[in-house]
Structure 1
Amino acid sequence: MSSGSMHSGLVGLVCLAIASAICCSSVGSSNNIMCLESERHALLQFKQGLVDDSNALASWKSEKDCCKWRGIECNNQTGHVTSLDFSFNYDAYFSSAEVPLSGEISPSLLELRYLNYLDLSSIDFGENMIPKFIGSLSQLKQLKLADANFSGPVPPQLGNLSNLHTLDLSFNDFEGMMIPKFIGSLSQLKELKLVYSNFSGPVPPQLGNVSNLHTLDLSSNDFEGMMIPKFIGSLSQLKELKLADANFSGPVPPQLGNLSNLHTLDLSSNDFEGMMIPKFIGSLSQLKELKLAYANFSGPVPPQLGNLSNLHTLDLYSNQVVSPENLEWLSHLSSLRYLNMSYLDLSKVVNWPQSLSKLTSLTELRLSSCSLPGVNLKSLSFINSSTSLQLLDLSFNSLLNSSIFYWIANVSSNFVHIDLSYNQLEGGIPKGFENLCSLESLTLYRNQLSENIQDSVKTLSCAENTLDTLDLGANRFWGYLPDLKRFSKLKVLYLDGNQLNGSVPASVGQLSSLETLSLSGNSLSGVITEAHFLNLSRLQSLAVSNNRFSINLSSDWNPPFQLTGWLDMSSCKVGPAFPKWILRQTNLTYLSLSNAGLSGKLPNLSSTSLSLLNLGKNKLSGKIPSWLGNLQGIGILRLHDNNFSGELPSLENCTGLLMVDLGNNKLSGKIPTWIGQSLTDLVILRLRSNEFNGIIPFSLCNLASIHVLDLSHNNISGGLPHCFNNITALAHDSGVGGLIVELVWKGIEIEFPNITGLRSIDISSNYLIGKIPQSIANMTQLISLNLSRNNLMGKLPENFGNLKMLESLDLSRNQISGKIPASFASLNFLSVLDLSYNNLSGRIPTSTQLQSFDASKYMGNHGLCGPPLTPNCSRDGATQADDNKEHDKDGLISLGFFISVVLGFVTGFWMVCGSLLLETSYRYAYFRFLDNAKDWIFVKTSVYKAEVQRTLQR
């Protein structure tokens, strides 16, 4: 090698070493680059506009380098702030330990010229508009302002964000606003989420210009009467299309069949009445999720859905009128993991078990309310091949035998959730359940199971380390309660409505994870002491009503729990003093202490979140306290059968009241006008057997939803309001369910556990005068009308026969005169009638019903004649003899009445309870209270919103 070449080689090595050193020095220094001072100052200005009560931004003070602050990211080469991410505030939104941030957005953010990611979700900006200056952040690629309490129009300046890939304005309130047209100019947009933002009007066609869009979510807005836009079918890059709960109607446009890249299609909770499920969906070969729940589709399920070989989620829930004739197409969905066909009638589909047998990847199967009584053990053998199945819901069917149990038991140990509630299963829990070692939830509520409870619990012993929900309520389990402390993860325990006896073991107090405990409606005895609650620090709901045990808790007992759900100790001896530990429960939503031996004055309850308060059938006295008027969220108030006196305090702020029952007290004064002015949602108003006086306030005519109005046995005077026909619930068919009420029939108070089909007015035993107004005949939905024992006079309205639904009519002991109108012959459902002791005259109209009543129901009307009375009528209709038999108070309640109540429930069910049935936990809570003749809890919540938000975060 020459010296020249050696020299050039050495020079090369030196240069290489120098370059390497410079490079290393450059890298090392880049790791130490701090944020720019100008941008640090801008961020501090932004922080000044926020309220940070939880000190979530503590690092913004202690750390000098803003690149290390919480929620901040910088470019590690330049130090410029590139990302401002406050998604951590979402967790604070649902945390009781933290308070979410609030405030306003400072324009200092404009100093962050290289910002490409901005997420201010879940910060409360106080219903202000989105600031216009955000449109000047030209480098933004992702803008997330979800659940930030923005309102008003979306500023068009956001249309300047030409680099934007993601725009999320979900969970704000843009009421009355259309989706902004400028979004169509955001050509780089790939993800658009406008969920629950209260947009309305037509979807602007400009959205069709966003050709790169792969996610479009317009769920939970109000596009009432609008069809799904056809132009969506031109967005060929779409992978996710979510239009759930958006009030779309009409046919689904076939153009959606062009979306060949679609992975998710959600059309749930719209109104496609009369439309079939589109066949073109079967051509969307990439589809993985298809959700059509509650979409009101009709006709058969198209077999083309069987072409969706990549489908892993199929939800057809509650398309009730869909009539599947053949489910063979299901067997081709080899990738299916989630299948929900609840509320589809499968009673005539003989091949569905065979179709399902090929779904070997299935993990969740929901067939609630599918009419499955005829399925036998052999046809259910398919489940033996579905070893991956983890969740099975066959609730609300009419399964008549327990072969289903053995079918389940033969599967594997993979089951996590099993729901067989609301069937007619008999026997006990089979031994095969001993192998279900992964079981977390077992719900067998409302069956006919009969077994020693100790044997049942022993069968489940393999799951003692996993089981968190055990619901055996409303069956016939018997015997002594076993020791359950081995089930250390148990959170929910329902044993109510069985035949359990013996004492409650104190070991229940060792279930430290327990949140819900319900033992009501058994024959349990012994003494409940503080030891039963020793370690129940997480307890939220407790129901021990209607047992035989006594409660022995010291007056100064301080429980380890704060209940946030319900407390039901009805028919337990907890009085005479109101327990102090209950007074210290600050977050109760349901409190029932009826027939609990309480006496004295009602103390101030510390819980202001009560939705139901039932203190009926005690000996409470004094005035009804005024603090009840502060319970603005209360839906049911029952203080009946006590010794309360004085005037009724104002409850006009309790505008959500559905039921007010103050019957059988000593309340006096006039019926307040604010009842009709402020409590316009009332379904039941029961003020019977008090000392109210004065006239019936005309404001009661504003109670458009009233089903039961009972003002009987008071000192009310004046006439009947002519405006009663304004009560639309009595004039038109409407549905409401779940409330219980006591009515008097034939002198006996009878409890009706559901008033859906019941509409009753009772103003008997008062001092009413004047005529029965003609307008009363417009209340065509009335089933019971009692105006007896008043001083009413004049003639009966000629159109009385318009009350065709009437089953019980008592006008006895008034001074009503004239003839019984011929229209009475149209009252074909009438089974209780009493017109005795009036001044009626003339011939009793001829009808099957009117002649079927005992003559005593017409006695005391000296001018009345014709069958069933013995005196004949002369040609002018005058009586030839008098009948002076004694008066029999009332008639019998008819079988037809009960049938009407049941039918009314069925027709009204979907109008009121549909949303409850969407969520399993709500459904069981509702039906549990209904079936046990308890009160319905009216609780307004934001759970749906929270669930959608959680989904968005996944």
Structure 2
Amino acid sequence: MLDLHYNVSAFYPSKETLRGEINPSQLELKYLNYFDLSNNNFQGYTIPKFIGSLSKLRQLKLAGAHFHGPLPKELGNVSLLHTLDLSYNYALTVDNLELLSSLASLKYLNLSGLYLSEVENNNLNHLGLRANKLKGPLPDPFTIAVSHSLVFLDLSLNELEGGIPNSFSNLCRLRYLYLSYNKLSDQLQDFVERLSCAADTLTVLDLSYNRFRGPFPDLTRFSSLETIMLPNNSLNGSLPKSLGKLSKVRSLSLAFNQLSGMLPNLAGIASLEKLDLLKNQLNGTLSESLGQLSRLKELDLSSNSFSGVVTEGHFLNLSSLKSLILSHNSLSFNMSSNWIPPFQLKELATTSSKLGPAFPRWLRTQRKLESLDISKASISDSIPYWFWDLSSTLAYMNLSLNRIHGELPNLSSKAYVYPTIDLSSNHLYGSLPPFPPNSTILIFSKNMFSGNMSSLCATRLAPLNHLDLSDNRLSGELPTCWVKFKELFVLNLANNNFSGKIPISLVSLPQIALLHLRNNNFSGELPSFKNLHRELVLLDIGDNRISGRIPEWSGQSLPSLTVLRLRSNELSGGIPTSFCSFPALQVLDLSLNNLSGDLPHCLGNMTAMLSEGRAGGFIDFASVMWRGIELEFRRNLELMRSIDISSNYLSGEIPDNITSLRALHNLNLSRNSLRGSIPVNFGQLNMLESLDLSRNQLSGTILASFSSLNFLSHLDLSHIRLTGRIPLSTQLQSFDASAYEGNHQLCGPPVTKYCPGDPGVTDGHENENMEGDEDVGYVTFGFYVSTAIGFIVGFWGVCGTLVLKSSWRRAYFQFWSHNSQMTKDYFYVTTKVFKARLLRILTSHN
């Protein structure tokens, strides 16, 4: 026996691993039956051929030893070999496995992490082909060849697809089946039928992350099952009542499927230690039978549609419970004030469940908590004093989205383990306390904290990487102790009342990437590029009182800058041409300043706006003016490309090369003094969704290329002296006429129906014809009502008088008698004139 494996679990320096070429003197060990070189570093060397001469060798373990090159064919001569582990030698090539067919005694074969396409051996009982880049369907010959004695089969992390071959029905001794992380698709019921030969032996069934579909089948025939792993498939329907009869099952995971209906009684699964039903469509109330699972350690029912009341009975015998996750349901906890749970939790998450209005007192008994999430739990109470001493192992605490009120105590003495604390969206007030030491993430936004940030300097916060104090009432100047926050990655101080200059030590922090300072009262000038951290991704100083010129920041000094927002300040001077050199800039907002001069002619060179896809680093969120409304973009921010330089004093022409920015979604140059015409190839901006060029001194026509802007949903070209016809397109005619108002020489829909020179419109009478058309077509219901009323009043005003007064009636007929011929002539001429006018109007209308 020769065991030279490197113990990766021990803390040894890497220099103690074996290296170099293996000496052939090992041949002198004629009776060697066990040879283990696992986890050493023979990088650059092949497996020595002389191993094929060790005729007594029974176990050969070379896992993770960094061998490369082909598998020596001489290995097939070791006829007594029953264990061969070549796994995770990623540079080892196995082109031909015929040599393994001669290893008649081979029982254990592990080739995980190697690339191969087939294997054949009738006596194997352990076959590990994990992460072998196997592709396509599972072939029948492969399964038949190993079916007689196979106990362990691992084909996880490959690219296998399709259904399961019928030959799986021959795996009668199979105990462990791992097929996770493939693309296998089959009715789960059909697959289970093919495993029926292993009904008495199958212990582990792992089909995670595949595409199995259909309802969850009856598995009671598999009397030895202990682990069922089926998350991330496409299972649907309700869970069968027979599920509660799988008495030996210890772990059941069905997360991320489409299972529905009520949760059946599971009290019969006495051995159950883990139940994971996350992200399904299960509904109804929770049965108190869950409280009988005395061995249960992990329970995750989150992101379903469970409702009803959770009582002490649901936890009656759960003394082993360590993790309880019930988030994103409609559950309501109803516990007595003196309830003492039978468990000691390490993890508790009840987001969106009702724990309040009082702060849950039973939490006081949980002294081993590492993660606590009781956000959005309808708590309307102050935080009790005992809560801050709850657990020294607490690393994650989320109490956000409640109505918690009161002041926070001094937390600088609380010895948590690098904690994340989220108290956002509550009603907390008072001064900011000194924070817990070693905090990594602090989110105190959307509260009513006031005063300055002096307490920040009084706390040892070396590992702090995320600080969010936005949307409070904080004021005063920023402290100058930022130099000690060397790990700070995200800082959000937006929407407060801070004043004074922005400290140089803040913008030059060595890890700062996301800096949100908008909507405060900061003044002074912008820092030069020498003081900005090179990896800055987002810089938002909008809505302040920053003055002076914009520095000549360069793309080389800020290669990752993706969002630059300086809107609504007091900046003056021109726009630096260096902005064009930012390779990752996707959102540029310089609006509402006092900038003057020409638009930079290099705008068309902004690399990140030439094509889709993420250009910079991670961004939590950014505020973007979109169609006149300020919106917060998060997940879809990586797709956003926006330029907003509106409401300044810019002059000159719009650069022609701006049409090169083909990924641009939003362009706003309104309320400046830009002149000249719109660039000819403007239609090349075919991803444009919002365009505002209004209130400039532009001239010329709307070019035909505008008809190519198929995604345009917001347009404002008002008050810019455009002339001529509005091109016909699906988009341009869909906007309200107000998008073109103030351009008195524009014509065509939607401004007018016709333009000069159109058929049926004579020169000099366009307006008259248009007005005539409008009069002919403008007949409403009110017109008919007024006509009827006029007829009735006129008719009875004349005829009624003649009926009632005989003297008037005699005079009337005498008049007609003496003037009959003259009356006939009058009606004849009047009728002819009316007919001629009517024909002319109808002809013009047609």
3-state SS of paired residue (2:642): strand
Q: 214, 231, 241: which one pairs with 1:342?
A: 231
Partner amino acid for 1:811?
Answer: L
Q: Does 1:250 align with 2:136?
A: yes
Asked if the contact 1:305/1:329 (under 8 Å) is kept, the reply is: no
Q: Is the 8 A contact 2:494 2:519 kept in 1?
A: yes
2:251 to 360, 364, 368: 364
Task: Identify which of 192, 196, 209 aligns with 1:318.
Answer: 209
Written as runs of structure 1 = structure 2, the 5 A alignment for 1:141-540 is 141-144=34-37, 146=39, 152-155=43-46, 157=48, 165-170=59-64, 181=72, 184=75, 187=78, 188=81, 190-195=83-88, 199=91, 205=97, 208=100, 211=103, 214-217=107-110, 219=112, 228-230=116-118, 232-234=119-121, 236-237=123-124, 239-244=126-131, 246-257=132-143, 258-260=145-147, 261-272=149-160, 275-301=162-188, 302=191, 303-309=193-199, 310-319=201-210, 321-324=211-214, 327-328=216-217, 330-347=219-236, 349=237, 352-354=239-241, 356-373=243-260, 375-376=261-262, 380-381=264-265, 383-399=266-282, 401-403=283-285, 405-406=286-287, 409=290, 411-435=292-316, 436-451=318-333, 461-463=340-342, 465-483=343-361, 484-512=363-391, 513-530=393-410, 536-538=415-417, 540=419
Give the superposition deviation at 1:505. Answer: 0.6
Is 2:443 aligned against 1:568? yes
CA-to-aligned-CA distance 1:512-538 (integer Å, 9 cap, x gap): 3423221122211122213x6765443
C-alpha distance in 2 between matches for 1:535 and 1:387: 40
| Per-residue deviation, 1:625 | 3.7
Q: Return closer, same or farther for 1:539/1:725 CA change in 2, 3 Å cut-off.
A: closer
Matched, 1:579 2:462: no
Describe the shift of the 1:547–1:207 C-alpha distance in structure 2 as closer, same or farther (beyond 3 A): farther
Mapped pair 1:101 → 2:20: no
Q: Secondary structure at the match of 1:500?
A: coil
Would the alpha carbon gap of residues 672 and 376 (structure 1) be closer, same or farther in structure 2, given more than 3 Å must change? same
How far apart, CA to CA, are the structure 2 residues paired with 1:360 and 1:747?
Answer: 62
1:744-759 matches, within 5 Å, as: 744-745=625-626, 747-755=628-636, 759=640
Q: Is the 8 A contact 1:410 1:432 kept in 2?
A: yes
Note if contact 2:713-2:731 (Cα within 8 Å) is conserved in structure 1.
Answer: yes
Q: Deviation per CA, 1:582-615: give whole Å up to 9, x if none.
A: 7522223433233452632453354544453334
What runs of 5+ residues in structure 2 fail to find an aligned partner?
768-846
Matched, 1:873 2:774: no
Q: Structure 2: which amino acid aligns with 1:570? A: S
Deviations 1:408-434 (A, max 9, x none): 536533332211222233333244313
Please provide the CA RMSD for this pair: 4.3
Q: Deviations over 1:302-324 (max 9, x none)?
A: 331344322222222232x4333
Match of 1:850 in 2: 732
3-state secondary structure, aligned to 1:365: strand
Q: Output the CA distance in 1 between the equivalents of 2:432 and 2:470.
A: 18
Shift in CA distance, 652/327, structure 1 to aligned 2, threshold 3 Å: same
Q: Out of 660, 670, 693, which is 1:788 matched to?
A: 670
Aligned position for 1:603: 481
Aligned partner of 2:713 among 823, 828, 831 = 831
Change in Cα spacing, 1:824 to 1:299, as seen in structure 2 (3 Å) is farther
Q: 1:760 to 1:200 in 2, by over 3 A?
A: farther
User: Percent same amino acid among aligned pairs?
Assistant: 28
Which amino acid is 1:190 matched to? T
Q: Secondary structure at the match of 2:295?
A: coil
Stretch deviating more after TM superposition (354-363 or 617-626) = 617-626
Alpha carbons of 1:242 and 1:283: their partners in 2 closer, same or farther (altered >3 Å)?
Answer: same
Q: 1:272 & 1:818 partners in 2: Cα distance? A: 61
Which position in structure 1 is the counterpart of 2:826? none
Assess, with a 3 A threshold, how the Cα gap between structure 1 residues 834 and 213 changes in structure 2: closer, same or farther: farther
Structure 1 Cα separation of the partners of residues 533 and 43 of structure 2: 29
Distance in 1 (CA, whole Å) between partners of 2:173 and 2:137 is 23
Counterpart CA distance in 2 for 1:218 and 1:612 is 44
Taking a change above 3 Å as real, the CA distance of residues 722 and 649 of structure 1, as seen in their structure-2 partners, is closer
CA distance in 2, matches of 1:216, 1:608: 50
**2:632, 2:589 → 1: CA distance?**
14
Q: Deviations over 1:89-140 (max 9, x none)?
A: 6354xxxxxxx524x45xxxxxxxxxxxxxx49xxxxxxxx32256656658
Deviation sequence 1:426-460 (CA, Å, 0-9, x none): 333244313133322111222233456x65x866x
How far, CA to CA, are the matches of 1:355 and 1:581 in structure 2? Answer: 61
Look up the equivalent residue of 1:334 and give its one-letter code.
S
Secondary structure at the aligned position of 1:346 is classed as strand
Change (3 A) 1:576 1:653: closer
SS where residue 432 of structure 1 aligns? helix
SS at match of 2:715: strand
Q: Residues 743-822 of structure 1: matches in 2 within 5 Å?
A: 743-745=624-626, 747-755=628-636, 759-765=640-646, 767=650, 770-771=653-654, 773=656, 776=659, 779=662, 783-789=665-671, 791=674, 793-798=676-681, 800=683, 803=686, 806-822=688-704
Aligned-partner SS, 1:833: strand
- Residues 733 and 332 (structure 1 numbering): CA distance in 2 closer, same or farther, change over 3 Å? farther
Q: Is the 8 Å Cα contact of residues 422 and 445 (structure 1) preserved in structure 2? A: yes
Distance 1:160 1:658, change over 3 A: farther
- Does the 8 Å contact 1:421/1:444 carry over to 2? yes
1:6-25 to structure 2, matched below 5 A, reads none
| Structure of higher CA gyration radius | 2
Please give the alpha-carbon distance, in whole angstroms, between the structure 1 residues aligned to 2:587 and 2:65.
Answer: 38
Residues 773/832 of structure 1: CA separation in 2 closer, same or farther (3 Å cut): same
CA shift for structure 1 position 241: 0.7
Deviations 1:722-763 (A, max 9, x none): 3457647x4479999984222224544222343268523123
Take 1:768 and 1:180, find their aligned partners in 2: how far apart are those partners?
73
Higher mean C-alpha deviation, range 474-483 or range 406-415: 406-415
Q: Does structure 1 conserve the Cα–Cα contact (< 8 Å) formed by 2:553 and 2:578? A: no
Change (3 A) 1:332 1:797: farther
What is the match of residue 9 of structure 2?
A: 90
Per-residue deviation, residues 274-300 of structure 1 (Å, max 9, x unmatched):
x33444344333332323333122343
- Evaluate the alpha carbon distance shift between residue 492 and residue 207 of structure 1 in structure 2; reply closer, same or farther with a 3 A threshold: farther
Q: Is the 8 A contact 2:150 2:171 kept in 1?
A: yes
Once residues 682 and 110 of structure 2 are traced to their aligned partners in structure 1, the CA distance between those partners, rounded to angstroms, is 55
What SS does structure 1 have at the residue aligned with 2:177? strand
Task: For 2:312 and 2:212, locate their aligned partners in 1 and report how far apart those are by CA, in whole Å.
Answer: 38
Letter in 2 for 1:251: P
What secondary structure is seen at the aligned counterpart in 2 of 1:528?
Answer: coil
The count of corresponding residues between Structure 1 and Structure 2 is: 727
Give the Cα separation in 1 of the matches to 2:471 and 2:517.
11
Counterparts of 1:874 and 1:510, CA distance in 2: 82
**Cα distance between partner residues in 1 of 2:675 and 2:75:** 70
Using the size of structure 2 for normalisation, the TM-score is 0.74
